[in-house]
Structure 1
């Protein structure tokens, strides 16, 4: 970001609003920035890239519709909360395309710093709650976090398939790296892993995914 100004500072809230509510509205206003953070993934329905807010909404929808394929029982509502929260830090940290080696070098440090700054806008109890949700997703230590991460891998794979390559055509993408991303789906939803395997196998044959040097697609 270019400066430390909050969106709410452009047109401050009217006087007299309760302090807790004012803090919550300030955070919600700042979250509007998520709509401006572009990801590498192209949309299937329009000739442009998706933004983080669209991505988070799509993940929530996927959790709702595909939860029956989770390998472990999950609390769907909790998993939806995790995926809605997980990319908020990119408001300040920016997106880090997985096939761009330079972009992911300091990703964790940028996102930790962004989490401290962003969540501090909320009342203390909600700041702790949202930070705990973010940490849970990042750690992948619960069934809900693991399934949320699976959706986070599946969604761009579906968009890439629908776009005949998408980010699979980035210079840093090879079939081995694409397979590494697929592993996050397989680890939490074996049935959905069958789908991602088909995406990759046929994407490789179609020339949408680069084979490893010295190999040819089967």
Structure 2
């Protein structure tokens, strides 16, 4: 007979496999294939490890990695909301909280509480770790869209003002990465892949 904790953890591991089926609007670098949430989370984790030195403040890198790996798990139930969606607000919703409680609730109670707390910390965006995690979350799609000749910006007729407004949150976690990102946004306008 297996220990109850192990059975709960395996159930959670099986459940989160569904993240691989949640398609995002953005496409892989220089590709026509849409990214899925699992790929996105993995990429953010790698970005965190590689770019941590650019954080505005010293951060617990492992905690940020944990944040970016679990931040979109709620989308298994709630679905992915496109950041430039005009019908549905891209903020923490009651629907996402219910999803967090259900999915993380598959884990043993102490682990579930920890995962929910880390997920909420990311959503609140107040701690230095959350600010850097959110910077990574905003930076990756910017890199994708610039590699894809405008990508979702062109596809969904997103303006410079909207992009700038959503991406300026990068500055909260990393002024250096924001400077780089701001230059990419402005170059995108000059290249005609982002309308001003």
Q: 2:102 aligns with which of 117, 121, 137?
A: 117
CA radius of gyration, larger in = 1
Give the match for residue 75 of structure 2. Answer: 90
Q: How many residues align?
A: 196
Give the match for residue 184 of structure 2. Answer: 199
**RMSD (CA atoms):** 1.5
Unaligned regions of 5+ residues in structure 1, if any?
Answer: 1-15, 212-218
What's the offset of the Cα at 1:141? 1.5
Q: Structure 2: how far apart are the matches of 1:132 and 1:86?
A: 11
Q: 1:78 aligns with which of 54, 57, 63?
A: 63
Give the match for residue 19 of structure 1. Answer: 4
Residues 159-178 of structure 1, C-alpha deviation per residue, up to 9 Å, x if partnerless?
A: 01110111112435211110
Q: Structure 2: how far apart are the matches of 1:92 and 1:172?
A: 28
Residues 56-96 of structure 1, C-alpha deviation per residue, up to 9 Å, x if partnerless?
A: 00000000000111011111111111111111100111100
Residues 12-57 of structure 1, C-alpha deviation per residue, up to 9 Å, x if partnerless?
A: xxxx222111000000000000000000111015421000000000
What's the offset of the Cα at 1:106? 8.0
Q: Structure 2: how far apart are the matches of 1:153 and 1:140?
A: 13
The answer (yes or no) to whether the contact 1:96–1:107 under 8 Å persists in 2 is: no
| TM-score in terms of structure 1 length | 0.86
| TM-score in terms of structure 2 length | 0.95
Which is richer in helix?
2
- Which of 161-170 and 79-88 deviates more? 161-170
Q: 1:156 to 1:133 in 2, by over 3 A?
A: same
What's the offset of the Cα at 1:112? 1.4
Structure 1 stretches of 4+ with a deviation exceeding 6 A read none
Task: Determine if the alignment matches structure 1 residue 188 to structure 2 residue 173.
Answer: yes
Q: Structure 2: how far apart are the matches of 1:60 and 1:173?
A: 27
Q: Structure 2: how far apart are the matches of 1:139 and 1:69?
A: 21
Unaligned regions of 5+ residues in structure 2, if any?
Answer: none
Greater RCO, 1 or 2 (C-alpha within 8 Å, sep 6+) = 2
- Which of 20-29 and 190-199 deviates more? 190-199
Q: 1:79 to 1:106 in 2, by over 3 A?
A: closer
Q: Structure 2: how far apart are the matches of 1:207 and 1:122?
A: 48
